[in-house]
Amino acid sequence: MNAPTTTPIQSTLDALPTDIVITDPDIVAGYAHDQSRFTDSAPPAAVLAPRSTDEVAACLRAAHQHAVAVIPRGAGSGLSGAANACADSIVLSLHRMTAIREVDTVNRIAVVQPGVVTADLRARAADAGLFYPPDPGSVDFSTLGGNVATNAGGICCVKYGVTGDFVLGLEVVLADGRILHTGRRTVKGVAGYDLTHLLVGSEGTLGVITEITVKLLPAPRPAQTLVASFPTLDGAGRTVSEIASSGLTPSMLEILDRTTVQAVDTLSKMGIGADTAALLLIQSDDIDAAEVLAQIETVCEGFGATEVAVSSDPTEAAMLLEARRLALPALEGLGDWLLDDVAVPCSRITDLIASVEKIAAERELTIGVFGHAGDGNLHPTIIYDQSDPASREAAISAFNAITQRALELGGTITGEHGVGRLKAGWLTVEHDTVSMSVQHAVKNALDPSGILNPGAVLTR
């Protein structure tokens, strides 16, 4: 009698410590996908939960030997399908690797494992009198590994930049289990190719991040806040353009369109007003914040703002910013939702929002827009009915039309959420054939067997 054949997945699992292997179907099912919509996924065969770099390396060596697909995963908070599992794959979850190894107050750096929650690093830095600026909307539950893998942004990008601007070095396990160290701990360093920033934003397709060295800044001064209501979208857009061209650098510059403002008002009963076509929320943490906001207030009023409120009191500031924090929850309350992520030049923000309004009207959908006006990164949120095939089709059509319009306005298909599986087909629209051939060459060099996150970012 022939012995049963061992599958590649079982051979991979048999090579690993049993206490890092999870096969309980109920638990495994929870690792099938991230928070994205309209992306393919399937329950993985197993979940691996390593506790160290050596264990990650062992996982990848075994998977490489048996040609098993590996899906690296952080907190699963992504919105592009980058952490979605596929059939006959193994999810490699970094949730056990949560150590903040070092906070160096002299050299202003921190060294962390990938499972550290972003808010926890920000809090630890603050305790040391320092500041880690990246603050994605998922800051309270997303992890540093996922932030680096997607080059996450946030509301402070207009002044401080995105996650990649703070990454100095990485420890990464390659597809075959080799451990790569990139970057440095120094302020400057240009030795060799910049492998660190090649891996930032690679969405788990080139390697698995196991340690991150980030730079920290001195703690900022308490921010002062301004909120301005505009009766016209054009007035808000002109204000954003004027701020950008004037040399003023607020630490936050956010915009909410009419649909989003009305949804927030319905949820919060703030009394924002039905005549508000756009709302700008602005902060400054400069030493001359009061003067900066005074200049911005003059700009707002010059372009027709009907109401401007300014506060330096932290409690009042938090109340003024509540509208921004409620943007997505308020829109979610209107029905099923599909969140887009595109970026255009700051001067084209109103063109994009106006186009979204037209797209919504043509497809008889509600679409709210909010996002980071200071860097042109907006999040059109499409409300539809998941149970209605026609509504689902209209939502997909609107999503594609918005993405196409962003490109036509000189923008990009994603500003901070990543390509994942949701927009893998759009990558070849934004990038020409030479660019795509180079990207495939990089992928093939680092992952020749194609086991790392197949289907994400690059399609074969």
CA angle 287-289-291, nearest 5°?
110
Report residue 3's pLDDT band, with 50, 70 and 90 as the boundaries. low
Assess whether 25 and 166 both reside in one domain.
no
Closest CA to 204 of 73, 54, 60: 73
Assess whether 247 and 229 both reside in one domain.
yes
Assess whether 166 and 234 both reside in one domain.
no
Of 191, 218, 245, the last residue of a domain is 218
The answer to whether the CB of 28 falls within 8 A of the CB of 47 is yes
Label residue 390 exposed, middle or buried (CB < 10 Å: 0-12, 13-18, 19+): exposed
Domain assignment of residue 433, yes or no: no
Domain assignment of residue 167, yes or no: yes
Span 221-232, mean pLDDT? 93
Domain assignment of residue 440, yes or no: no
Closest CA to 51 of 13, 16, 95, 116: 95
The answer to whether the CB of 416 falls within 8 A of the CB of 158 is no
Q: What is d(CA 125, CA 117) in angstroms, rounded to the nearest whole number?
A: 13
For residue 100, the SS3 value is strand
Assess whether 173 and 267 both reside in one domain.
no
Assess whether 267 and 378 both reside in one domain.
yes
Return the CATH number at 73. Answer: 3.30.43.10
DSSP per-residue codes, 364-421: T-EEEEEEETTTTEEEEEEEE-TT-HHHHHHHHHHHHHHHHHHHHTT-BS-SSS--TT
Domain assignment of residue 155, yes or no: yes
Span 286-292, mean pLDDT? 92
Assess whether 280 and 370 both reside in one domain.
yes
pLDDT at position 2 over 60: no
Q: What is d(CA 243, CA 297) in angstroms, rounded to the nearest whole number?
A: 10
Return the pLDDT at 89: 97
Assess whether 231 and 212 both reside in one domain.
no
pLDDT above 70 coverage of the chain, percent = 99
Report residue 4's pLDDT band, with 50, 70 and 90 as the boundaries. low
Report residue 290's pLDDT band, with 50, 70 and 90 as the boundaries. very high
Q: Side chain identity at 355, as an amino acid letter?
A: S
Domain assignment of residue 434, yes or no: no
Give the H or E element holding residue 329. helix 327-332
Span 268-279, mean pLDDT? 84
Return the pLDDT at 1: 47
Assess whether 350 and 376 both reside in one domain.
yes
Q: What is d(CA 399, CA 405) in angstroms, rounded to the nearest whole number?
A: 10
Assess whether 244 and 315 both reside in one domain.
yes
The rounded mean pLDDT for the chain is 94
Label residue 325 exposed, middle or buried (CB < 10 Å: 0-12, 13-18, 19+): middle
Q: What is the tens place of the pLDDT at every residue in 171-197?
A: 999 999 999 999 999 999 999 999 999
Domain containing 182: what range?
A: 100-218
The answer to whether the CB of 64 falls within 8 A of the CB of 449 is yes
Return the pLDDT at 247: 85
Cβ neighbours of residue 298 closer than 8 Å, sequence gap 6 or more: none
Tokens for 385, please give them.
């009915």
Rounded-to-5 percentages of helix, strand, coil across the chain? 40, 20, 40
pLDDT at position 312 over 90: no
Identify which has the larger pLDDT, 313 or 83.
83
Q: What is the tens place of the pLDDT at every residue in 120-178?
A: 999 999 999 999 999 888 889 999 999 999 999 988 888 999 999 999 999 999 999 99
Assess whether 182 and 246 both reside in one domain.
no
Span 11-33, mean pLDDT? 96
Assess whether 354 and 333 both reside in one domain.
yes
Identify which has the larger pLDDT, 63 or 247.
63
pLDDT at position 314 over 60: yes
Assess whether 283 and 372 both reside in one domain.
yes
Domain assignment of residue 456, yes or no: no
Return the CATH number at 124. Answer: 3.30.465.10
Q: What is the tens place of the pLDDT at every residue in 417-449?
A: 999 999 999 999 999 999 999 999 999 999 999
Span 33-59, mean pLDDT? 97
Q: What is the tens place of the pLDDT at every residue in 348-375?
A: 999 999 999 999 999 999 999 999 999 9
Span 276-282, mean pLDDT? 94
Return the pLDDT at 316: 78
Return the pLDDT at 272: 79
